[in-house]
Amino acid sequence: MRWNELDQADCPIARALSILGERWTFMILRDCFFGVHRFEAFQANLGISRTILRDRLAHLVQAGILVQRPYQERPIRYDYVLSAKGKALNGVMLMLGEWGQTAVDGQPETQVRHRHQTCGHVLTPYVACAECGEEVVAKDVRAVRAG
């Protein structure tokens, strides 16, 4: 399998990564969740090269994860905002942040936290099963690979 054939893979993780798995893409999306939505702001925040930023934004727009919303004409300029498909990545982002927080050590104490508005607490996210509502831990999950 070559990297650019990942989108045809028979695995949802592989297909997700065909869109998200390139360098910087997750970082751009993280910024989107933080409310960043302009080219210059992404560039200044990430220090990413403009060429790559242009490519990644185009890819995300074409994949339907970001939507371009014009905020001025002459010259036409766009905000890049999360679509529904993009917002659906919220769970992935939260779990990724939680893992980074607890598992990646030796780093300065982070200053980024999330607050759960509905209950008012600082958010500690976990993955639960929609059927039984219980927390899902690795040892209780069995992959079923048909075909």
- Residues lying near DNA in the complex (CB under 7 A) are found at 2-4, 22-24, 38-41, 47-52, 54-55, 57, 74-75, 77-79
For position 76 contacting a copy of itself by CB under 8 A, the verdict is: no
- Residue type at position 126: Y
For position 100 contacting a copy of itself by CB under 8 A, the verdict is: yes
Q: CB-wise, 46 or 93, nearer to DNA?
A: 46
Residue 43, SS3 per DSSP: helix
Q: How many residues bind a copy of itself (CB under 8 A)?
A: 89
Return the DSSP state at 122. Answer: B
What burial class does residue 78 get, using C-beta atoms within 10 Å of its C-beta: 0-12 exposed, 13-18 middle, 19+ buried? middle
147 binds, among a copy of itself, DNA, none (CB under 5 to 8 A by kind): a copy of itself
In whole angstroms, give the CA distance from residue 17 to residue 26.
10
Element (H or E) spanning 26, and its range? helix 25-33
CB 57, min distance to DNA, A: 6
Q: CB-wise, 42 or 57, nearer to a copy of itself?
A: 42
